[in-house]
Every structure is written in C-alpha cells, then in structure tokens.
Amino acid sequence: MADNTMSKAATMEIPINSNGDTGTLTEDDSLEQDLQQVMVSGPNLNETSIVSGGYGGPAGGIIPTSSIKDIRMKSRGANLHNSNASASRLAHHTNPGSINHNTNSTEEVSRGVAVEKLDSVKKWGINTYKCTKQMFSEKFGRGSRTVDLELEAQIDVLRDTKSKYENILRLATALITHFQSMVQTQQALGDTFTDLSQKSPELQDEFGYNAETQKLLCKNGEALLGAINFFVSSVNTLVNKTMEDTLLTIRQYENARLEFDAYRSDLEELSLGPRDAAAMVRIEMAQQDYQVHREKYERLRSDVSIKLKFLEENKVKVMHKQLLLFHNAISAYFAGNQQQLEQTLIQFNVKLKPPGSDKPSWLEEQ
C-alpha cells in the first residue's frame, strides 16, 4: 500500500517521456542546485516532508518537488537559526570566561582590601600595646619620657588661662541673666506708672516722672545688655574656638610624644639584646619605626610652638578691646551718662537687636 502511494506521488511529480527518460522539470535549472543546497545544509526533519521506500528498498528516498520552494525557504531559515545558535554558543563559551575573569578580579580586590584591613588592625594593635606599656612605665616610674620644659610650661599656662576665661564667661552670662530680669522688671514698672498716671489725675505728674525714669533706665539697660552680650560672644570665640584649636594640636602632640617614647624604649631594649641575624632585622625595623615617630613628634612640637605664639598675640588683642568695652559700658550706665554709653556702643561697633527680636516668631511657635 505504501509502495503504491509512493509510486503515484513520484509519478505525479516527475513526468516520464516516451523514451523512458525524465523530462524537463517544471522548475528551472536551479532546481538541482537547490536540492543540493538542501541536502548539504541538512534541514530540520520536522520541517520537511521526506518519503522513503519504493523501487526496491529504503535507500531510495524521494523528496516531493512541489515543496522544493518551501524546503529552500525553510533551509535558509534553518541556516539563519543555526547561525544564531552558533553565535549564542560562541557567546556562551566566551562570556563565562569574561564572567570568571571579572569574578576573579573582584575576588582579588576583595582579598586585597581584607589583607589591607588586617594589616591595619595588626599595626594598630602593636602600636596600642607599645603605647600602653610606655604609659604604665611612666606612671610607675620605670620608664623615661621626653620633656620639653619650655613648651610644657607654656601648655600649662594656656590650660590655666582657659580655665579662668571659662569662669569669666560663666559669671558674665549670669550677669546678663540677672540684669535682663531687672530690665524687664523696669519695663513692666514703667508701663504700670504710665497707666496709673492716666487714671489718677491727682498723681498724674508723679506717676509720669517715675514712668519716664523707668523707661530711660530700661533703654540704657538694653544698651548695656548689648555691650555685655558682645563681650561674652567675643570671649566665647576666643576660649571655645581659638584656644580649643590650639589644645587639640597639643593633644595630638602629646600622643605623638607617647608613641615616640614607646618606640624609643623598644629600640633601646632591642639594642641591649643579642646581635644575631634575626635580632639585627628586628633592630633595623625598630630603627625605621623610631625615625618615623620621631619626625612626627618634632613636626607636632613645632606646630604647637607656632600656635601658642599666635594665640598669645590674638588673646592680647581681643581682650584689650573687650575689657575696654566692658569697662566703659558699665561705667557709663551706672553713672547715668546716656550719651557716653551710646558713644561706647558706636566706638566698638556694637549693634543692638531691635525690641522683640529675641521672641520666636508665630511660625516658630507652631
């Protein structure tokens, strides 16, 4: 049955002439080239129709000519698909290598960072141990320390000066608080006298005099408060910024001094020990560490000396101006010399805040 069907299909597609030879195909001469291309390219068997059998065995396979064009188009599509698949496989075989390379690079970077952190922690631990050992040796009198007598004396003077200036700030701030309360009381008293002068005709003049006096005292008190506030602000800048910056450098200098003495003591201990090859290597490394910390110590010592010099000059200049302002303002106020008080404020460029500027705005109160 299959052989009959195959014979009919073959007879329908391939005409036979009178001599028994195959006649001209309905397609042109390129048909044979297309068949060869299809056979060579190896199209997908699921997409082509192949009939096997007939004429004595399975070896004689026949492809229907009616599907030649379809096979050619599918063959070209299959070639394009195979090309894309090959490119994908090439990319697949290429990308893993680059991915592995990138992964290895990332792992190397991570490993390098980890090693660097480990070395940093190790150095910190060694340095902390040496400095702690040196500190306890100095406290118990078993270790020696490097001392710059002149510089140490200047540092002690600075710390004592800063403590006394901080006391001035506390007292001046307390004076502002108390005096501001007095000015507010005078303001309220003046308002009360003004109200009573309007409601008491028989004492109108007396209440009026007192109201004017209290208002004048209140005005002069606000001027004095402005001068004292300016004084406190300037001294606060000197103490908590300029002096504190110098003291920060001093603390760095003291830490550098401790490290320098720690590595100096370590080098001295190694120098007193044996002199074999391993010991000489340790001595050389200790000598390098000692030199590094010595340079750091000397650099910070120079920085401290320079800052102390400039701080002293700045302190004299600032306090000369502020103490003169404080004296003139206090004297003018309690002498009742309003004109001199106003001239003092002008002389030292003291700007008074407008009334009510200290009160929060309605937006801030929300």
Is residue 77 within 8 Å of 85, Cβ to Cβ?
A: no
Dmax of the chain from CA atoms? Answer: 158
Whether the pLDDT of residue 62 is over 70: the answer is no
- Interval 158-186 mean pLDDT: 95
Q: What is the pLDDT of residue 150?
A: 93
| DSSP code, position 243 | I
Distance from C-alpha of 89 to C-alpha of 316, rounded to nearest angstrom: 82
Is residue 237 within 8 Å of 169, Cβ to Cβ?
A: no
In this prediction, residue 48 has a pLDDT band, given cuts at 50, 70 and 90, of very low
- Interval 227-253 mean pLDDT: 95
What is the distance of C-alpha 93 from the center of its chain?
42
| Integer CA distances (angstroms), 231 to 168, 172, 224, 225, 327, in order | 10, 9, 11, 10, 11
Burial of 220 (0-12, 13-18, 19+ CB in 10 A): buried
Whether the pLDDT of residue 131 is over 90: the answer is no
pLDDT digits (tens, 9 = 90+) for 299-308: 999 999 999 9
Q: Cβ neighbours of residue 341 under 8 Å, at least 6 residues apart?
A: 220, 223, 224, 329, 332, 333
Which pTM does this prediction carry?
Answer: 0.62
Q: What is the pLDDT of residue 362?
A: 41
At position 96, the amino acid (one-letter code) is P
What is the distance of C-alpha 85 from the center of its chain?
49
